[in-house]
Amino acid sequence: MKRAFTVPALVLAALLLAGCSSGMTTGSDSGGSISDGSVGEIAPMQDGTVQNGAVDAGGFVPGAVTDRAVITTGTVSLTATDPIGAADDAIKLVAGAGGRIDNRSEQPATETQPAHATLVIRVPAEQLDTVLDKIKHLGVVNTVSLNASDVTQQKQDVEARIAALQTSVDRLLVLMASAANTADLIAIESALSSRQAELDSLTAQRDYLDDQIDYSTISVDFVSEGIVAQGDPDNFWDGLLAGWNSLLAFLGGFIVVLGVLLPWLLLLAVIAAVVLAVVAAARRASRRRAAERDAALLAGPVADPTAAAETEDVQQ
């Protein structure tokens, strides 16, 4: 009986301890504050030993890497004689640096639009500057934009929560091995399932962060050499010419749209004509029947000659 009471108590204590550990923030208490660049002393476990990977009150993991965790993203636009060929060369450069291509889109040149290619490249962070320098030589640089986001605190918070949850899971596994009855086993399994699901979710978040940190994401846009657009009209005749050209462009587009819609308009016209003919025929038949009925009512009942002759014989 005493053992049956002890196991649920241990389960409750483990859950409370895990909840306190996972809810730690960047604040500090009297026993784990950070002062003058030193980390506060870690409180020992009940057995007098210090748990490896334990989290101090400031939310940091002792011995963790102090380097900043930075996610770098950006865009690069270049003008190239052969955008698709330049994109192929860029892919080779990225592969040679140990990176990968997350997205690729190409538009070959046509009569109405020039060639165009876009790449979303993932480059190892330490190789980013080298790869960008090589890509810039594939054409004429139009724009370059880079953005760096510091996610050090977010990464440390996720790692601290993972460490706390992993400790909780390990303790629940020990308690499960020593469960005295079925009720204790069910309670421990329920708590373990919840903790494990949360641990898996945090692990996935950490892996995603690590991928974003380790590999910079850059969108590279290759465009063809095009004709520079004409400026706005600066006198009456230029304005008149611009208006006339706009009118011609509108009429050309309208004719194209009309050509697309004309077969459908003809089909709708035929269907409408058939429907109107049926409705008109039905109305004419209805009017004719109504006229015949009115004429019959005005003429009155028709006398029966046989009945009239019988009536005369009776009177004689």
Per-domain boundaries in the chain: 2-23+50-65+152-219, 71-150
Per CATH, the homologous superfamily of domain 71-150 is ACT domain (3.30.70.260)
Strands lying side by side in the sheet with 140-150: 100-107, 116-124, 215-223, 70-79, 140-150
CA dist., res. 134 & res. 78, Å (int): 12
Q: Are 124 and 98 in contact (CB under 8 A)?
A: yes
Instruction: Provide the β-strand partners of residue 121.
Output: 101, 218
Report the number of secondary-structure helices (H) and strands (E) in the chain: 7, 5
Which two structure tokens, joined as six digits, stand for 249?
């462009």
Q: DSSP letter at 126?
A: G
Residue 132, CB half-sphere, CA atoms under 13 Å: how many?
Answer: 22
Q: Are 102 and 122 in contact (CB under 8 A)?
A: yes
Alpha-carbon distance values, 98 to 91, 124, 243 (Å): 11, 7, 54
Which two structure tokens, joined as six digits, stand for 224?
């063809």
The tens-digit pLDDT sequence of the chain (316 residues) is: 444 444 454 544 555 454 444 444 433 343 333 333 333 333 333 333 333 333 443 344 444 445 789 999 999 999 999 999 999 999 999 999 999 999 999 988 888 788 999 999 999 999 999 999 999 999 999 999 999 999 999 999 999 999 999 999 999 999 888 888 888 889 989 999 999 999 999 999 999 999 999 999 999 999 988 644 455 677 788 788 888 888 888 888 889 898 888 899 999 999 999 999 999 988 988 888 888 887 777 775 554 555 555 555 555 5
CA dist., res. 268 & res. 56, Å (int): 77
